[in-house]
């Protein structure tokens, strides 16, 4: 990225700061337009060139294209059996369960019920629990979910204030900041409700991987007694404050200096900012694509799917989560995964949680499988679903979660009839 791009980012930061200051003084409506544009550049750390690229096509045409993709894009339509867990502060956490297809050798009309040996209950199946990342929701695992439906028991959940889960009670009632530690306890509540017994495989992407680490830190006995494998995708165990988002030094220093204050100010006027955010949808779309994907040939419907998930996260939720990442440090918690089958996977061109962070995790878990995907960005599970699903299926086989003879395929399948609906 050029120095001129860095200067553009710094200018955007300055504009955002000016907007926040005006808002605090009472001129919020006049400042919203400036903040709506500047926040997009600052929050994702994009260069001004992204906006230029988006402006080369008529706005009306882009709007029609988005509507067409929204109406035809099948991604995110898979649903399972719904359930709800409750966090320590009372926050409602929404999850869905996909159960495996019945064993063909189990009871049928022509086969009598098999007697249990000495009356003992059959062991609980392995449950794979998927945790999503910041500004996403459980549907970000769409391709992996399509491939695994009917093969293994899976649980997908929405983190607090994301997707179908409720707004964080501690945040809305007590004005308490979100912490990664709190997310780890939320995951424990989901496991207690959706998979109270039996072996577990933990899968986490980005913030979801940090949530898995926080779970291990707070509940090491659970890891030791029930977890049989772990997958950490595009995540970090700490030092996120050093990430430069692909910006030159001048740009990233400016972003770090003012972004927390800008986000806080904008989060306090969420309704007005959301209007400005919609008005600058083209700019946001370019930013989201740059920081989500690396390859040039990403399916436009997949890119729009990612855009919709991120757009659906309210600006005040974006703001309340942001400080938690600088405080995140779960390096020591990784020791709880020693001796387990572990997959560490990342895109080499990930600008959000750089692949060096995954390499650092793998360095502390020498028995882990490290997979670096050359032409991939942050949303590697959407960008290269076949590869991610293959490596995940191999992990499940090594952990005994699925038989070696089972074929896991259907990466792009979107039929909701494949499982509970």
pLDDT band at 403 (very low <50, low <70, confident <90, very high): confident
Could you write out the DSSP letters of every residue in 156-222? Answer: EEPPTTSTTSPPPHHHHHH-PPP-HHHHHHHHHHHHHHH--SS-EEEEEETHHHHHHHHHHHH-HHH
Contact 132, 159 (CB under 8 A): yes
How much is the mean pLDDT over the chain?
79
- State what percent of residues in the chain have pLDDT above 70: 65
Mean pLDDT, residues 387-391: 96
Q: What's residue 7's pLDDT?
A: 43
- State what percent of residues in the chain have pLDDT above 90: 54
Which among 34-43, 65-74, 97-106, 243-252 has the top mean pLDDT?
Answer: 97-106
Q: What's residue 18's pLDDT?
A: 45
Contact 38, 287 (CB under 8 A): no
Top pLDDT among 32 and 316 is at 316
Alpha carbon distance 185, 101 (integer Å): 31
Q: Which two tokens stand for residue 240?
A: 């996120």
Mean pLDDT, residues 118-127: 72
Q: What backbone phi and psi angles, to 5 degrees, belong to 220?
A: -60, -30
CA nearest neighbour of 216 among 93, 357, 334, 130: 334
Top pLDDT among 102 and 308 is at 308
What is the tens place of the pLDDT at every residue in 324-335?
999 999 999 999
User: Among 23-27, 132-136, 267-271, 395-399, which stretch is predicted with the lowest mean pLDDT?
Assistant: 23-27
pLDDT band at 367 (very low <50, low <70, confident <90, very high): very high
Residue 6: pLDDT over 80: no
Q: What's residue 348's pLDDT?
A: 98
Top pLDDT among 58 and 266 is at 266
Top pLDDT among 350 and 66 is at 350
CA nearest neighbour of 38 among 20, 54, 23, 53: 20
Top pLDDT among 271 and 53 is at 271
Q: What's residue 420's pLDDT?
A: 35
pLDDT band at 255 (very low <50, low <70, confident <90, very high): low
Top pLDDT among 164 and 413 is at 164
CA nearest neighbour of 372 among 394, 387, 390, 385: 387
Q: What's residue 228's pLDDT?
A: 98
pLDDT band at 85 (very low <50, low <70, confident <90, very high): very high
The terminus-to-terminus CA distance of the chain in angstroms comes to: 46
Q: Among all chains, which residue has been given the structure tokens 């974006």?
A: 318
Residue 231: pLDDT over 80: yes
Q: What's residue 28's pLDDT?
A: 41
Please work out, in degrees rounded to the nearest 5, the angle formed at the alpha carbon of residue 331 by the alpha carbons of 361 and 241: 90
Contact 45, 251 (CB under 8 A): yes
Q: What's residue 344's pLDDT?
A: 98
pLDDT band at 73 (very low <50, low <70, confident <90, very high): low
Maximum distance among all Cα pairs of the chain, rounded to whole angstroms: 77
């Amino acid at each position: 990225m050029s120095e001129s791009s860095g200067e553009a980012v710094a200018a955007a930061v300055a504009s955002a700061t000016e907007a926040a200051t005006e808002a605090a003084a009472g001129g919020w409506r006049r400042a919203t337009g400036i903040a709506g544009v500047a926040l997009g550049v600052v929050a994702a750390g994009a260069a001004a060139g992204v906006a230029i690229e988006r402006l080369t096509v008529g706005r009306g045409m882009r709007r029609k294209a988005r509507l067409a993709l929204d109406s035809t894009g099948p991604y995110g339509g898979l649903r399972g059996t719904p359930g709800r867990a409750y966090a320590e502060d009372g926050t409602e956490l929404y999850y869905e369960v996909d159960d495996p297809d019945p064993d063909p050798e189990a009871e049928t009309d022509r086969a009598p019920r098999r007697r249990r040996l000495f009356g003992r209950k059959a062991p609980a199946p392995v449950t794979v629990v998927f945790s999503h990342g910041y500004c996403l929701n459980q549907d970000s695992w769409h391709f992996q979910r399509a491939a695994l439906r009917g093969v293994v028991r899976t649980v997908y959940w929405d983190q607090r204030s994301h997707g179908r889960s409720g707004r964080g009670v501690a945040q809305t009632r007590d004005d308490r900041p979100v912490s990664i530690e709190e997310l780890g306890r939320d995951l424990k509540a989901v496991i207690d409700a959706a998979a109270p017994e039996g072996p577990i495989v933990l899968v986490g992407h980005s913030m979801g991987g940090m949530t898995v680490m926080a779970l291990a830190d707070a509940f090491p006995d659970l890891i030791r007694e029930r977890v049989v494998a772990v997958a950490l995708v595009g995540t970090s165990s700490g030092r996120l404050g050093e990430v430069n988002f692909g910006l030159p030094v001048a740009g990233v220093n400016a972003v770090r200096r003012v972004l927390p204050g800008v986000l806080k100010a904008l989060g306090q006027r969420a309704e007005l900012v959301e209007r400005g955010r919609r008005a600058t949808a083209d700019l946001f779309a370019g930013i989201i694509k740059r920081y989500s994907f690396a390859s040039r040939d990403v399916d436009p419907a997949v890119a729009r799917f990612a855009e919709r998930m991120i757009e659906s996260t309210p600006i005040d939720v974006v703001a309340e989560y942001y400080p938690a990442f600088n405080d995140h440090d779960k390096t020591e918690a990784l020791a709880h995964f020693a001796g387990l089958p572990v997959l560490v996977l990342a895109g080499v061109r990930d600008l959000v949680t750089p692949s060096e962070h995954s390499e650092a995790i793998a360095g502390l878990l020498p028995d882990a499988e490290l997979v670096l995907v050359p032409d991939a960005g942050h949303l590697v599970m959407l960008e290269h679903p076949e590869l991610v699903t293959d490596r995940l299926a191999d992990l499940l086989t090594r952990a005994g979660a699925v038989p070696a003879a089972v074929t896991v395929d259907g990466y792009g399948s979107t039929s909701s009839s494949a499982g509970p609906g």
